[in-house]
Structure 1
Amino acid sequence: MSVTFETLEYEIGGVKTVVKAIGSGKPVLFLHGAATLEGFDFAAGLADRFRVLLPSHPGMGFSGPAPHVSGMADLLVHYLNLLDALDLPEKPHLMGFSMGGWMATELAAIARERFDRVVLVAPAGLNDPAHPATALGEIAPQDFPGYLAHDPAVALPYFPDGSDPDFATAFGADRAREGEAVGRLCAPFGMGHPNLRRMLARISNPTLVVWGDEDRLLPASQAPLWVEALPSATLLSVPGAGHLVLQENPGTLTKIGDFLAA
């Protein structure tokens, strides 16, 4: 089933910023991870109750280049400016996945009053040495689907299979472009911030931490660290799901929607 989105376009600080939108109701701002290969179709699972806004980060996905970005602070300013441009009729919920979970964490820490509830899905950024993330450079290309999903069949359709040379070429170009943008974002401290745990204490918003129990990229053993450090947090563990928990267990979106609607 194909999912139909509206396409909104803004000029934010000289960067063409494309926002895909679906549904109606209270707005949810979703911040994606370090690649856009899985797309945004999952958002249909929230669109019956919420207006889901899905921007592509500068230099990634549908948005234009942003060579000025040199760290997370640049993205925080970008998204605060985007919120101004969106001029939403009510305070949105904030949701972030993986690298976007790290982004959402810092954004909520500095601007908690701009958001209602917060959902962090397998968030990156904490970098606890006792619970290390898998180094992406150590994963062979053919093994990536098995690291993204507990059932590799869920992730395989996002990757070239040799049957479509044009798709393979576009896939490689997109990953190279997004990898360059992520590299600049992570240049200061890697995929996170050494003081992120201290920032968590500022997020007084009700927060839901969602994690697949079988996540091979960011271990689910990190989840209790997030919940303990957040002032008002609940953990939703999803058995039998890997990193792409929203795609692998779509029923998770119903539980997220219930949390946001509470």
Structure 2
Amino acid sequence: MAVSFETHEYDIGGVRTVVKAIGQGKPVLVLHGAATLEGFDFAEGLADRFRVLVPSHPGFGFSGDAPHIAGMADMVLHYLNLLDALALTEKPHLMGFSMGGWMATELAALARERFDKVVLVAPAGLNDPAHPATDLGSLAPTDLPAYLAHDVTVALRYFPDGTDLAFAERFGADRAREGETLGRVLAPFGMGHPNLRRFLNRITNPALVVWGSKDRLVPASQVPLWVEALPNAKILLVEGAGHLVLQERPDTLKTIGDFLAG
């Protein structure tokens, strides 16, 4: 059964920005990764205790196009402006997955006073040569599901299987659109920032770094690098899970929720 979200729209600097919302309680702003193919149903795992807000980035998912985006700094500015528009009555938690983890890192470092706790799930962005992430451009499309989840059947449910031509066409169009915007986000430095450790040092908020032990896209060997750079961080290593850790191991969301509520 599909998760039932509220849908809210905002005009943020001329970009139609769609925020999916579910649940009640303290707000949690969740920033998705470099594509929206897996959807946002994972948010239901936090909605029993929190008001979960999942915006689509400019040029991604449900939000409008954003031809002005020229790098991650534009995304961070967009989210600072969205926070103003949301006018939340209490300080939200911040959570980011993959590229959204990189985004959350820069956002929290520049505006740490606007957030309570920070959760980084398999975050991209560090670009450490000793612990390299997989170059997505080097993967054949047919190989991608096996890099997204340790149990490939979990990832495959989000991909066309040849039985629904209309879905396959939408999927291709969505990936092309998101890929074009992603290319502009990555144009300055690739999938990360050369000084991201300096950003991490500024995040004094309580933080939780979540990673699947079998992540083939961004290796879990990066975990110590993140935790050492964050002044106040804990580790949640999920054994046997890949990059899509929240979809592959939904019980992880209870542990995340316990951290946020604690």
Structure 2-normalised TM-score? Answer: 0.99
d(CA) in 2 for partners of 1:2 and 1:92?
A: 26
Aligned residues: CA RMSD = 0.5
The equivalent of 2:250 in structure 1 is 250
The equivalent of 2:87 in structure 1 is 87
Alignment of 1:162-201 (within 5 A): 162-201=162-201
Specify the code of the residue in structure 1 equivalent to 2:211: W
Matched, 1:59 2:55: no
Alignment of 1:59-208 (within 5 A): 59-208=59-208
- Report percent identity of matched pairs: 79
Q: CA deviation at 1:207?
A: 0.2
d(CA) in 2 for partners of 1:150 and 1:84?
A: 39
- SS, match of residue 253 in structure 1: helix
Matched, 1:212 2:204: no
Q: CA deviation at 1:143?
A: 1.4
- Specify every segment of 5 or more residues in structure 2 that has no aligned partner in the other structure, as ranges: none
Matched, 1:28 2:28: yes
Q: CA deviation at 1:198?
A: 1.1
The equivalent of 2:226 in structure 1 is 226
- SS, match of residue 258 in structure 2: helix
Deviations 1:47-96, CA, capped at 9 Å, x for gaps: 00000000000000000000001011111111011000000010000000
Alignment of 1:33-48 (within 5 A): 33-48=33-48
Q: CA deviation at 1:219?
A: 0.2
Q: CA deviation at 1:139?
A: 1.4
Q: What count of residue pairs does the alignment treat as equivalent?
A: 262
d(CA) in 1 for partners of 2:236 and 2:151?
A: 20
d(CA) in 2 for partners of 1:150 and 1:172?
A: 23
Specify the code of the residue in structure 2 equivalent to 1:224: P
Specify the code of the residue in structure 1 equivalent to 2:172: G
Q: CA deviation at 1:199?
A: 1.0
Deviations 1:13-43, CA, capped at 9 Å, x for gaps: 0000000000000000000000000000000
- SS, match of residue 89 in structure 2: coil
Specify the code of the residue in structure 1 equivalent to 2:109: A
Specify the code of the residue in structure 2 equivalent to 1:146: A
d(CA) in 2 for partners of 1:75 and 1:241?
A: 29
* TM superposition outliers: structure 1 runs of 4+ over 2 Å: none
d(CA) in 1 for partners of 2:38 and 2:50?
A: 21
Deviations 1:131-189, CA, capped at 9 Å, x for gaps: 00011122121111111000000010100111011001000000000000000011000
d(CA) in 1 for partners of 2:10 and 2:2?
A: 25
d(CA) in 1 for partners of 2:144 and 2:192?
A: 21
- SS, match of residue 81 in structure 1: helix
Specify the code of the residue in structure 1 equivalent to 2:146: G
d(CA) in 2 for partners of 1:180 and 1:139?
A: 17
- Specify every segment of 5 or more residues in structure 1 that has no aligned partner in the other structure, as ranges: none
Matched, 1:16 2:11: no
- SS, match of residue 236 in structure 1: strand
- SS, match of residue 257 in structure 2: helix
